[in-house]
Structure 1
Amino acid sequence: MIINMKNIIFMGTPQFSVPILEKLLKDISAKFHVFSKPDKARGRGQITSPSPVKECATNHNLPTYTPTSKEELAGEVTKIDPDLIIVVAYAMILPKSVTDNYFCINIHASLLPKYRGASPIHSALLNQDEETGITLIKMNEKMDEGDVLEVKNITIEDNDNLNTLENKLALISAKQIVNYLQLNQDLQNAVLAPQNKEKASYCYKITKEDLSLNLSDTIHTNLGKIKAFAPKPGAKLTKNGKIIKIIDAKIEDSKLIPLIVKPEGKSEMPYKDYLLGHPEGLTLC
């Protein structure tokens, strides 16, 4: 149990960050302040709603903050004067005034310096990597370039997709950050390992265009894309003017065979059921 921290700021936005916040609240004794992105319109109905992290914080009656600029963020941080800042997929790079004056730990879902940037889990699946993991870094003002505090590797299984790998990495992240803080209560004397800049690679925010399957690509490339976007938002192709999402597939006899598909306007279904109404089938490469 940590006894020398009064105020901790947690910064995060997507569902990936929620299990980590939950674990910290359970195992770390401190007052938590939660920063997240502002509420926005979501879903088909475009109903304004909070981020998963803000919703979690509200359910725990925690103070929440949704700054829209680095200047506003820095001002709120200064008022709180935290002992520690933990950042998990927050979607805003912290200003130098914050990273210079406070100990900031970022949990990044890759083996840094590989896949610095916004889509490390997608990238590991797209590139059909055999392993991935999480890295704890002491943040500086640059994106994912801070010194390494701790690394945890895991194997990417053949049946992993975006959903399963995100869940695994979130749970591992939750365990690792709590263990790290309990074993390293004097953060000012933390052991730091600089990243090897020569081995750095970068990944970028996924766009709608990235979801489309290219039939001229190899079967392995398209299988990686299917896994990287499954089950949502879903890799897709267009047939007769209609979008069909490929949720799962396998390689068999040197062919890429759909297993689960989602035709436009319909629910997910086994490919064998799709074939009943479309005996000509689908070509994935």
Structure 2
Amino acid sequence: MKVIFAGTPEFAAVALQALVEAGFDIPLVLTQPDRPAGRGMQLQPSAVKQYAVSKGIEVLQPLSLRMDSKDPQRAEEARAAHQRLLSTSYDVMVVAAYGLILPRSTLDIKTCLNIHGSLLPRWRGAAPIHRAIEAGDKETGITIMEMEEGLDTGPMLLTERVAIEDSDTTGSLHDKLAALGGKMIVEALNKMRHGELEAVVQPEEGVSYAAKISKEEAALDFSHSAENIGRKIRAFNPFPGAYGVVNGVNVKLWGAEVLEGGNAPAGKVLSADAQNGIVVACGSGALRLTELQKPGGKRLPAAEFIKGFPLEGLSFSV
């Protein structure tokens, strides 16, 4: 089978690698344009582009695939990309975290399969891994679906579940799901080749949407429950990084344990020493902070952090 692949971040690169290693012919890869990154804000290629280039696969990076865009440059690039797709011999397009909307004109060329990081119809949208952890879900998974114009509304072809552990962060869960997605798309295409894929319409009940993560959400309010705050810390690790404000300083919190708490005011630092660790009262319960980072500093275990940033007697803002 000849497969055109569309994707951008590491989650997608893992799937592309799985397809290449399984022997599929990849004549073309679509990925988003290079973006400024790092302290020098130099243009950086996506993870998908880096892998494709390393394998000698042609890469196309249009700003948009919508030929009706009001932006002349985007419309022109979309038309060029559309003609490139029409002139390429392929059997199916595989999409994983591409980041661009596929218009009807693209979907109509060939079947498009999507690797989605949730158990649809729960967590349709941009940030299913973050939102599953933030909501306290006990499980998530990968859904291979056939794409249509709606937001992650297409029929499901394969589904596999993954337990969300209490220790999981978005980073650790991402890696599990990326590996699973790569395995499952290979399985799906092999079944497709033999006419063994069965489409199941998504149920109307249980629909939820995983809105894109904003940096503004990372500010923690310690008047909330310790359980709620702990989930946010795990959900926003590694991006955008949850933080609490203490003495006017934004302190990033990368790890925490939920404890039972007393009646201390929310945000008050109950202890900050090597023996008891950094314990902060919340609206209900308390959190033992295990890994922190001050602006311009490194991520440090709590015992190391308090050597350079004493917290005893202070309070986090609520």
TM-score range, shorter chain: over 0.9
Q: What is the aligned partner in structure 1 of residue 278 from structure 2?
A: none
Aligned length in residues = 279
Task: Tell me if structure 2 keeps the 8 A contact 1:12–1:87.
Answer: yes
Task: Tell me if structure 1 keeps the 8 A contact 2:144–2:188.
Answer: no
| Per-residue deviation, residues 233-269 of structure 1 (Å, max 9, x unmatched) | 3101222232110000001233111000011110011
Unaligned runs of 5+ in 2: 68-77, 261-284
CA–CA distance in 1 between the matches of 2:86 and 2:249? 52
Indicate whether 1:227 and 2:234 are aligned: yes
| Per-residue deviation, residues 181-236 of structure 1 (Å, max 9, x unmatched) | 2233145x731111112321111111111111112211111111100111333101
CA–CA distance in 1 between the matches of 2:291 and 2:305? 9
Q: What is the aligned partner in structure 2 of residue 236 from structure 1?
A: 243
The 3 A distance-change label for structure 1 pair 250 and 32 is farther
The 3 A distance-change label for structure 1 pair 284 and 24 is farther
Q: What is the aligned partner in structure 2 of residue 95 from structure 1?
A: 103
Unaligned runs of 5+ in 1: none
Q: What is the aligned partner in structure 2 of residue 33 from structure 1?
A: 28
Q: What is the aligned partner in structure 1 of residue 217 from structure 2?
A: 210
Of the three residues 88, 93, 106, the one matched with 1:85 is 93
Secondary structure of the 2:231 match is helix
Task: Tell me if structure 1 keeps the 8 A contact 2:127–2:210.
Answer: yes
| Per-residue deviation, residues 30-65 of structure 1 (Å, max 9, x unmatched) | 133110000111122111111111111111111000
**Larger helix proportion, structure 1 or 2?**
1
Give the residue type in structure 2 aligned to 1:19: V
Of the three residues 53, 58, 73, the one matched with 1:58 is 53
TM-score normalised according to structure 1 size: 0.93
CA–CA distance in 1 between the matches of 2:149 and 2:84? 17
Off by >4 Å, runs of 4+ in structure 1: 281-285
What displacement does 1:284 show?
8.3
Alignment map for 1:95-244 (pairs within 5 Å) = 95-186=103-194, 190-244=197-251
CA–CA distance in 2 between the matches of 1:94 and 1:119? 18
Aligned residues: CA RMSD: 1.7
The 3 A distance-change label for structure 1 pair 251 and 284 is farther
Q: Which has the larger radius of gyration?
A: 2
What displacement does 1:74 show?
2.8
